[in-house]
């Protein structure tokens, strides 16, 4: 068992103050609820703000489709063995991003994807996490041959940084999966 935060609680709009409260109110306005992960990250508002900003930038500016975005987020979260983000992004993939269930399930299981371009994205993202940002020339050439660019590599680095913030926060908090995400709960093998 890994360390679990003991001195901090999952913040809510009612228990948070200052910047943390403002950030949580903004999250509720956007999502309709405050996910447990946000309540943990809000204990350090700078962390939550960095996560929120980077996440929004990746979604809006890095040129990946919603399906590709979920492939990246799920590949990173699986490599980091984050139970919370696997459940949350599986839900988002299924209900919001239009990812076919067979793609989401393959990502959750660590299996190759049936779509060659998405598989290249999954594979390259996993390599970037596992090799700590040190792909080989061959890895990059295969990624580019699938239709991606060097700029896309930088977008993946942003997604890895954002998911690392959330994955690691969830690890030390042992963040409970929200009820809405619970049907897609996941456990590392």
pLDDT category at 189 given cuts 50, 70, 90 is: confident
Which tokens sit at 168?
A: 């690691």
Instruction: For Cα atoms 181, 185, 189, give the angle at the middle one, nearest 5 degrees.
Output: 155
What is residue 2's predicted lDDT score, i.e. its pLDDT?
A: 86
Which whole number is the average pLDDT over 83-106? 96
- Tell me, which fold does domain 18-184 have in CATH? AhpD-like (1.20.1290)
pLDDT category at 4 given cuts 50, 70, 90 is: very high
pLDDT category at 188 given cuts 50, 70, 90 is: confident
Which residues contact residue 117 at a Cβ distance below 8 angstroms, ignoring those fewer than 6 apart? Answer: 146, 147
pTM: 0.96
Give how far Cα 110 sits from Cα of 104, 122, 154, 186, Å.
10, 9, 23, 12
Domain ranges of the chain: 18-184
pLDDT category at 102 given cuts 50, 70, 90 is: very high
Assess whether pLDDT exceeds 90 at residue 63.
yes
Assess whether pLDDT exceeds 80 at residue 125.
yes
pLDDT category at 159 given cuts 50, 70, 90 is: very high
What is residue 165's predicted lDDT score, i.e. its pLDDT?
A: 98
Residue-by-residue DSSP string for the chain: ------S-----TTT--HHHHHHHHHHHHHHSS--HHHHHHTTSHHHHHHHHHHHHHHHHHS---HHHHHHHHHHHHHHTT-HHHHHHHHHHHHHTS---HHHHHHHHHTPPPSSHHHHHHHHHHHHHHHTTS---HHHHHHHHHTT--HHHHHHHHHHHHHHHHHHHHHHHHTPPPPTTTGGG-----
Assess whether pLDDT exceeds 80 at residue 55.
yes
pLDDT category at 142 given cuts 50, 70, 90 is: very high
> How many Cβ atoms are within 10 Å of 39's Cβ, its own excluded?
24
Assess whether pLDDT exceeds 80 at residue 1.
no
Of 1-15, 117-131, 161-175, the poorest mean pLDDT is in 1-15
What burial class does residue 151 get, using C-beta atoms within 10 Å of its C-beta: 0-12 exposed, 13-18 middle, 19+ buried? exposed
């Amino acid at each position: 068992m890994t360390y679990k935060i003991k001195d901090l609680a999952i913040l809510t709009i009612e228990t948070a103050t200052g910047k943390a409260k403002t950030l949580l109110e903004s999250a509720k306005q956007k999502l309709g609820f405050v996910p447990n992960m946000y309540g943990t990250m809000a204990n350090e508002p700078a962390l939550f703000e960095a996560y929120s900003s980077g996440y929004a930038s990746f979604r809006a500016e890095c040129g990946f489709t919603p399906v590709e975005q979920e492939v990246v987020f799920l590949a990173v979260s699986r490599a980091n063995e984050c139970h919370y983000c696997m459940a949350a992004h599986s839900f988002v993939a299924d209900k919001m991003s239009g990812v076919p269930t067979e793609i989401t399930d393959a990502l959750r299981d660590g299996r190759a994807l049936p779509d060659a371009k998405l598989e290249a994205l999954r594979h390259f993202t996993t390599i970037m996490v596992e090799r700590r940002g040190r792909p080989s020339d061959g890895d990059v050439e295969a990624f580019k041959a699938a239709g991606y660019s060097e700029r896309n590599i930088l977008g993946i680095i942003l997604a890895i940084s954002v998911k690392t913030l959330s994955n690691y926060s969830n690890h030390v908090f042992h963040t409970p999966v929200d009820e809405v995400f619970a049907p897609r709960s996941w456990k590392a093998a």
